[in-house]
Amino acid sequence: MTEHPPRSVLLASPRSFCAGVERAIEIVERLLDQRGGPIYVRKQIVHNVHVVRALEARGAVFVEELSEVPFGATAVFSAHGVSPAVRAEAQARSLDVLDATCPLVTKVHAEARRFAERGDTIVLIGHAGHEEVEGTLGEAPGQMVLVETAADVEALEITGPVSYLTQTTLAVDETAEVIEALERKFPQVRGPGSDDICYATTNRQIAIREVAARSDLVLVVGSKNSSNSVRMVELAARGGTPAHLIDDASEIDPAWLDGVTSVGLSAGASAPPELVDEVVAALEALGTVSVSTHTTATETIAFTLPLAVRRAG
């Protein structure tokens, strides 16, 4: 048996669940406790395959569209938010709706409505096709344009007042470049009163950047459709450290560890913390490891649950 040199595992902190994800999952869990299944959820409640499977096992039914939900049933909107058109469809189908939209996404929707009411053309910085982006675009479809890069900004042709909003789970540094391009092209452009990129996304990016600088390899636990998880991997790689996104410990390729003496480890905001523990255990099975934590921020934010699920189950 080949002896591996001892490896250090550096845990980034904060990592794993954020307040918005915890709130969304708890809404579904409480509904299942109070009402039993099925509880219908439009799209994935959060972008993590393990969370979805666990809730399915308890009686949650995930659907792509509300047309799949029986008339009058209980339905939950995911943490990523929905457009006014989806809310209208739910009302037309007499659905009993519980809204698990992250309050920080709700903030962006409110900004979109306010900017549209004052007559602005709104430039939304985000990734085409992402559920959060689709929901935000639906707030003012006739007045909003989507861009992803600074090059997209250069192609814009807008007359009249311009404002911008951003998806909450973007890479902070890349988004800053797009905003700078907007400010150059439209000097009078106005943005939100406070950053739209959420605290949890920012905190996890800061932490992974620092951990990556001290590591030979970075592993980020998260699903492929998790925007904030993907951004963390990209950020580590841009700094020159090989980085991989894994759903769980089973996806670790031992070849990644050849010659590696330090592993940076984190998890996206929708990844359960126990998955990180399982990755540490898998690394321990491959050789001696020492585990330490690098903390760059302490998160104390919590969001209130909807009144309908706050009562005792």
Q: Mind listing the pLDDT tens digit for each residue in 63-83?
A: 999 999 999 999 999 999 999
Cα–Cα distances in Å, from 152 out to 133, 230, 297, 302, 313?
16, 21, 33, 36, 49
287 and 205, same domain (yes or no): yes
300 found inside a domain: no
310 found inside a domain: no
Pair of tokens at residue 75: 């339905």
192 found inside a domain: no
pLDDT number for residue 1? 41
* pTM of the predicted structure, to 2 decimals: 0.95
Residue 2: is its pLDDT beyond 70?
no
Domain extent at residue 136: 104-185
2 found inside a domain: no
Q: Looking at 129, 151, 185, which one is the last position of a domain? A: 185
Which residues does the annotation place in the binding site for [4Fe-4S] cluster? 18, 102, 198
**Is 132 a known active-site residue?**
yes
Give which of 290, 291, 286, 279 is closest to 251, Cα–Cα.
279
- The predicted-structure confidence for 177-211, as pLDDT tens digits, reads as follows 999 999 999 999 999 988 899 999 999 999 999 99
- The predicted-structure confidence for 125-181, as pLDDT tens digits, reads as follows 999 999 999 999 999 999 999 999 999 999 999 999 999 999 999 999 999 999 999
Which residues does the annotation place in the binding site? 18, 47, 80, 102, 130, 168, 198, 226-228, 270
Q: Looking at 64, 80, 101, which one is the last position of a domain? A: 101
41 and 70, same domain (yes or no): yes
Q: Determine the residue type at 39.
A: I
CATH number at 129 reads 3.40.1010.20
The rounded distance, in Å, linking the Cα atoms of 36 and 18 is 26
Q: Phi and psi for 173 in degrees, rounded to 5?
A: -70, -40
302 found inside a domain: no
Which residues does the annotation place in the binding site for isopentenyl diphosphate? 47, 80, 130, 226-228, 270
The predicted model gives 9-15 an average pLDDT of 98
Confidence at 101, pLDDT banded by 50, 70, 90: very high
The rounded distance, in Å, linking the Cα atoms of 297 and 232 is 16
Mean pLDDT of all residues belonging to the chain: 96
217 and 148, same domain (yes or no): no
- Residue of 132, 139, 284, 299 marked active site: 132
Q: Does residue 14 contact residue 297 with C-beta atoms inside 8 Å?
A: yes
Pair of tokens at residue 150: 């600074």
96 found inside a domain: yes
pLDDT number for residue 310? 87
pLDDT number for residue 155? 96
231 found inside a domain: yes
Q: Position of tokens 């585990």?
A: 291
Residue 313: is its pLDDT beyond 60?
no
Residue 278: is its pLDDT beyond 70?
yes
145 and 156, same domain (yes or no): yes
35 found inside a domain: yes
Give the number of domains in the chain: 3
114 and 179, same domain (yes or no): yes
